[in-house]
Amino acid sequence: MLLDGTTALAADDLTVELGGLPVLRGVSLSIRAGEAVALMGGNGSGKSTLVRTVLGLLPHQHGGVRLFGQPLRSFRDWARIGYVPQRSMALLSGSKVKEVVAAGRLARRRPFRPLNRSDREAIHDAIAQVGLSEHLNTDIAALSGGQQQRVLVARALAGKPELLVLDEPTSGVDLQHQRVLAEVLAELISAGTAVLVVLHDVGALGDLIDRAVVLSDGRVAHDGSLGDLGQHRRRFGGHEHLDHGRDTADDHGENADSWLGGAVEP
Amino acid sequence: MIEILSYPFMQRALIAALLTGLIAPAIGMYVVQRRLSLLGDGLGHVALAGVGLALLTGTAPIPIAVAACVAGAVVVEVLRQRGKATGDVGIAILFYGGLAAGVFLSGISGVGAGGLAQYLFGSLTTVTRDDLMLVGVLAIVILVITLGLSPQLYAVATDEDFARTQGLRVRIYHIAVVSLAAVTVALAMRTVGLLLVSALMVVPVAAARNVVRGFTAALICAIAIGVLTAVGGAVGSFYIDAAPGAFIVLLAIAVFVLSWPLSYLLRRRRAAAVLPELVDDDELIAPHTITESHPHQHAPDCGHPSVQHGDHTDFIHEGHRHAAHADHYDEH
């Protein structure tokens, strides 16, 4: 695949098996600079597996991944990548907010070198960007779920990434905090950052999304605008507003609602 | 104190205790952070297999124990990384395999399991100059790595996936930590003993986390507690003629027990320190800032400090001072 300089991420015909079972079956995906792509689909559709594979956290059996034109295997420029994993605080509790965020500068630091001035500025800026400046020295375990999520976003932003990958950043976060996240992301996207965000439902991030890629059973079932996704769903008898976890699959739902796990509000 | 320093064997014992107190919590911090607190115990048992092998072959026990311990640690870490065994199962296998091999090998060497006892509980007062040199070199290596690579080791211990996306060689860092833990354990068999060194890797860290906030502060505090209890235990055991290894560990546990009430007092003090400026100048307080999800329901008897604020009561905890308002809490 030929890539120009503005393609941040390109996954081509990716096949991933976990424990001998196929999870991704020939998935292709590309994201350009300044583009915001939502990766959606029901539980077990392969969203997180795709995200982890394109970042090199899981091996793939077939296909290829390129980050900024470089094959994943030889990609070393990790400072250009920001990753916000699913929120898991078990091992991070006991750390101050600024310690957690400082880890986001590691791709830019050499071993045995202390934080320099630009590192410290980037850490403070990232924390300010997510509105947590007054919690620099707070134990992350003492923050609310929404605030903890923002700390993880700040950690990814501290490295000033050009591609930001977020894995379900809105899960368990109330609408008010989703809006704060949406503001932060909108600013980044307008500055040219490519954003890949795994979402269970679009929530407050809907306005930002340029393109929605829906996975179903390890395959891309839809790759287009959120609006098209809504039309597609209506054509196949989907509902405008669906409750979380409700099984809405009907005779036609195979093609629409089942992709979405019954949880999209376009 | 002067008297104790006049004996060369006690000088060596104190330096060995000091070095063990420095390095055990330094490496222990990363081991505990990864929820592998019992790793040191498992490695101690593998070191016994090394001692058994040394008894059988008539060679010096320390180098063989170090080699056995590092090999055991690396094998378990590689098994864990490849998903063949979870951390706790790996440690359990180390535990049983090492102990069985140690007893078996010492048995067929003719010394018997009793010959292992001095390594199990340490023998601080018989530390030789050569032992001290070895521990000294190790201490420098461990401190340089644990403090110098602290940001990298912290990231790897707290969020492996994120550390990978920062370009860190996570596997190598993990193997470095367990290898350094293995060397620490094997060398400590001459000081606090194989069974007790694990306590010095874990207990000061647990105590430090109770009294200070943040990873770096806890690392430094744990090292300070390790040094104080190791040297204090060595000195105390000289005067009351007790086993130094056991006394050091009991002291560390005493510090841990005391750290509970101390942490409570410190939290109260921090909360009180925040209070006056907020009370004195209401202008500085952002109007009607709402707290996010707040599962805890404050009440007069909930244990959080409270203060009367106009027509309502504010509760103070974790840097918040807020009062219930409709279905949320307002920050004041």
3-state SS, residue A156: helix
Residues B219, B303 within the same domain: no
Q: Which of B11, B17, B15 is nearest to B246 (CA)?
A: B17
Residues B147, B198 within the same domain: yes
Residues B307, B161 within the same domain: no
Question: Which of B211, B241, B257 is the last residue in one of the domains?
Answer: B257
What is A7-241's CATH number, 3.90.79.10, 3.30.930.10, 3.40.50.300, 3.40.470.10?
Answer: 3.40.50.300
Query: What's the number of domains chain B is made of?
Result: 2
Q: In what order do the strands lie in the sheet with A62-67?
A: A21-32, A7-18, A62-67, A70-71
| pLDDT tens for each residue of B128-148 | 898 899 889 989 999 999 999
Q: Name the closest residue on chain A to residue B147, using Cα atoms.
A: A112
A95/B215 touch (CB, cutoff 8 Å), yes or no: yes
| pLDDT tens for each residue of B66-83 | 999 999 899 888 888 877
For residue B273, being part of any structural domain is answered with no
pLDDT at residue number B263: 86
Write the DSSP symbol of residue A87: P
Question: Which of B257, B273, B296 is the last residue in one of the domains?
Answer: B257
pLDDT at residue number B91: 77
A52/B209 touch (CB, cutoff 8 Å), yes or no: no
For residue B272, being part of any structural domain is answered with no
Interface of B with A (CB under 8 A): 33-35, 148-149, 151-152, 154-155, 157-159, 161-168, 209, 213-216, 218, 290-294, 317-319
Alpha helix (H) residue ranges in A142-199: 145-157, 175-190
C-alpha A206/C-alpha A265 separation (Å) is: 9
Distance from CA of A62 to the nearest CA of B (A): 20
Low-confidence winner among A77-81, B160-164, B262-266 (lowest mean pLDDT): B262-266
Neighboring chain A residues of B165 at a CB cutoff of 8 Å:
55-57, 78, 81, 83
Domain with B227 in it: 2-257
pLDDT at residue number A127: 97
For residue B153, being part of any structural domain is answered with yes
B215/A104 touch (CB, cutoff 8 Å), yes or no: no
Signed CA dihedral, B7, B10, B16, B18: sign only: negative
- Give mean pLDDT, residues A176-194: 92
Instruction: Grade residue A225 by pLDDT with cuts at 50, 70 and 90.
Output: confident
| pLDDT tens for each residue of A197-210 | 999 888 889 889 99
Q: Name the closest residue on chain B to residue A94, using Cα atoms.
A: B214
Q: Which of A83, A91, A102 sits opposite B33 (nearest CB)?
A: A91
- Average pLDDT over chain A, rounded to whole? 85
pLDDT at residue number B215: 96
Which two three-digit tokens encode residue A169?
């950043």
Torsion of CA B40, B44, B46, B50, to 10 degrees: 140
pLDDT at residue number B14: 93
| pLDDT tens for each residue of B51-65 | 999 999 988 888 899
B162/A99 touch (CB, cutoff 8 Å), yes or no: no
Q: Which of the residues B145, B158, B221, B331 would you substitute to probe the A interface, choosing the one with the greatest number of A C-beta atoms within 10 Å?
A: B158
C-alpha B201/C-alpha B44 separation (Å) is: 12
Distance from CA of B158 to the nearest CA of A (A): 5
pLDDT at residue number B318: 61
Low-confidence winner among A73-82, B62-71, B85-94, B210-219 (lowest mean pLDDT): B85-94
Q: Name the closest residue on chain B to residue A146, using Cα atoms.
A: B292
Residues B99, B212 within the same domain: yes
For residue B163, being part of any structural domain is answered with yes
**CB atoms near residue B299 (< 10 Å):** 12
- Give mean pLDDT, residues B194-222: 94
Instruction: Grade residue B235 by pLDDT with cuts at 50, 70 and 90.
Output: very high
Domain boundaries, chain A: 7-241
Residues B253, B303 within the same domain: no
Distance from CA of B159 to the nearest CA of A (A): 7
Angle between helix B170-188 and B61-81 (nearest 10) = 150
Look up the ipTM and state it: 0.86
pLDDT at residue number A255: 42
Write the DSSP symbol of residue A91: T
Instruction: Grade residue B305 by pLDDT with cuts at 50, 70 and 90.
Output: low
Residues B242, B305 within the same domain: no
Q: Which of B33, B162, B215 sits opposite A83 (nearest CB)?
A: B162
- Average pLDDT over chain B, rounded to whole? 84
Distance from CA of B148 to the nearest CA of A (A): 5
Above 70 in pLDDT, residue A252? no
For residue B193, being part of any structural domain is answered with yes
- Please give the backbone phi and psi of residue A37, each rounded to the nearest 5 degrees, phi first: -115, 130
Q: Which of the residues A48, A100, A170 would you substitute to probe the B interface, choosing the one with the greatest number of B C-beta atoms within 10 Å?
A: A100
CATH of the domain at B101: 1.10.3470.10
Residues B123, B202 within the same domain: yes
pTM: 0.82
pLDDT at residue number B36: 86
Distance from CA of A26 to the nearest CA of B (A): 24
Residues B94, B185 within the same domain: yes
What percentage of chain B carries pLDDT values higher than 90? Answer: 45
Specify the higher pLDDT residue, B259 or B323: B259
The vertex-A144 CA angle with A143 and A148, nearest 5°, equals: 70
Residues B311, B248 within the same domain: no
pLDDT at residue number B287: 42
Which two three-digit tokens encode residue A79?
């400072």
For residue B267, being part of any structural domain is answered with no
| pLDDT tens for each residue of B12-39 | 999 999 999 999 999 999 999 988 888 8
